[in-house]
């Protein structure tokens, strides 16, 4: 009984927090830099991710990647110790920010290291760090209908994407300089909304292709996927 009352109270608090948090004017969505897909493309070129890792493309969605303490921000440098847990992925359609027409399409997130073991000597490149499917577009508005009264818990139950290749945290070896860790989001080329039968690379090194520089581009082509969003960070071992 007490527990029930507490839940109801918590729902009530959540409801009022949401109501009082309604912005008076339009708030920018996330970082300014990541809200502009042209900026994303420019930064990918500056870091030579285009064309080394992926062919030139103009992203159509923006991608936020957040670990518990840090976020990816198009080429910021983060310490490996902050990258240990699988990050939270948020995919926005800035042209349709409230997600009202969000399609049922699901996306694929990947993480690759083209600088293994180092950018000067990428003989293990690329290293596959993560492939996960069933990533959905995020809906940006919070409903102000009294949904919390029906079940505040529902806000927290959305499960993460489904792993095809488990998240392996970046672990740049000592004395190998800064590595680029590149997140790319893909969509099926034919726009299908059916679940995809994605291939799992045989190996992380070279994404299982057995060839130096074999990587996410080869895997995406094989699985008939096209890139739609990206973000990246730099990370290095503290022993240099």
Dihedral sign from CA coordinates of 19, 21, 23, 24: positive
In angstroms, give the least distance from the CB of 34 to ligand NAG: 26
Chain residues 127-156 in contact with ligand NAG, contact rule CB under 6 A: 133-134
CB 15 within 8 A of CB 149: yes
Segment interacting with ligand NAG, rule: CB under 6 A, options 1-9, 139-147, 151-159, 192-200: 192-200
188 scored as a contact of ligand NAG (CB under 6 A): yes
What Å distances lie between residue 109 and 71, 75, 131, 185, CA to CA?
A: 16, 18, 6, 5
In angstroms, give the least distance from the CB of 237 to ligand NAG: 32
Q: What are the backbone dihedrals phi and psi of residue 159, each rounded to the nearest 5 degrees, phi first?
A: -80, 165
The residues, any chain, with a CB within 8 Å of residue 167's CB and separated by 6 or more, are 86, 87, 111, 129, 130, 132
Q: For ligand NAG, which is the closer residue by CB, 120 or 194? A: 194
Contact flags string 196-215 toward ligand NAG, x per CB under 6 A: xxx-----------------
In angstroms, give the least distance from the CB of 203 to ligand NAG: 19
Q: What are the backbone dihedrals phi and psi of residue 133, each rounded to the nearest 5 degrees, phi first?
A: -105, 175
Helix (H) or strand (E) holding 50, with range, is: helix 49-52
40 scored as a contact of ligand NAG (CB under 6 A): no
Dihedral sign from CA coordinates of 164, 179, 57, 102: positive
Q: What are the backbone dihedrals phi and psi of residue 10, each rounded to the nearest 5 degrees, phi first?
A: -60, -40
Tokens describing residue 166 = 């488990």
86 scored as a contact of ligand NAG (CB under 6 A): no
User: Would strands 127-135 and 162-165 be described as parallel, antiparallel, or unpaired?
Assistant: antiparallel
162 scored as a contact of ligand NAG (CB under 6 A): yes
Q: For ligand NAG, which is the closer residue by CB, 83 or 196? A: 196
Q: For ligand NAG, which is the closer residue by CB, 142 or 193? A: 193
Q: For ligand NAG, which is the closer residue by CB, 198 or 233? A: 198
Closest CB to ligand NAG: residue number: 162
Q: For ligand NAG, which is the closer residue by CB, 116 or 196? A: 196
Q: Which residues bind ligand NAG (CB under 6 A)?
A: 133-134, 162, 164, 188, 190, 192, 195-198, 223-224
């Amino acid at each position: 009984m007490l527990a029930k009352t507490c839940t109801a109270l918590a729902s009530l608090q959540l409801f009022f927090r949401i109501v009082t948090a309604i912005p008076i004017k339009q708030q920018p969505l996330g970082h300014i830099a990541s809200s502009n897909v042209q900026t994303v493309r420019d930064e990918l070129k500056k870091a030579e991710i285009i064309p080394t890792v992926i062919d030139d493309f103009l992203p159509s969605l923006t991608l936020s990647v957040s670990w518990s303490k840090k976020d990816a921000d198009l080429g910021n440098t983060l310490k490996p110790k902050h990258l240990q847990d699988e990050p939270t992925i948020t995919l926005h359609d800035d042209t349709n920010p409230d997600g009202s027409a969000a399609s049922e399409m699901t996306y694929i997130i990947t993480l690759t290291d083209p600088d293994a073991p180092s950018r000067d000597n990428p003989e293990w490149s690329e290293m596959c760090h993560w492939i996960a499917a069933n990533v959905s577009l995020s809906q940006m508005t919070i409903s102000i209908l009294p949904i919390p009264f029906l079940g505040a818990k529902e806000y927290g139950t959305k499960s993460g994407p489904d792993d095809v290749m488990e998240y392996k945290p970046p672990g740049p070896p000592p004395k190998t300089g800064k590595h680029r860790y590149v997140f790319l989001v893909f969509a099926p080329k034919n726009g299908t909304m059916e679940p995809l039968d994605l291939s799992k690379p045989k190996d992380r090194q070279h994404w299982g292709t057995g060839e130096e520089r074999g990587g996410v581009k080869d895997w995406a082509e094989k699985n008939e996927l096209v890139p739609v969003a990206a973000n990246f960070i730099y990370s290095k071992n503290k022993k240099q």
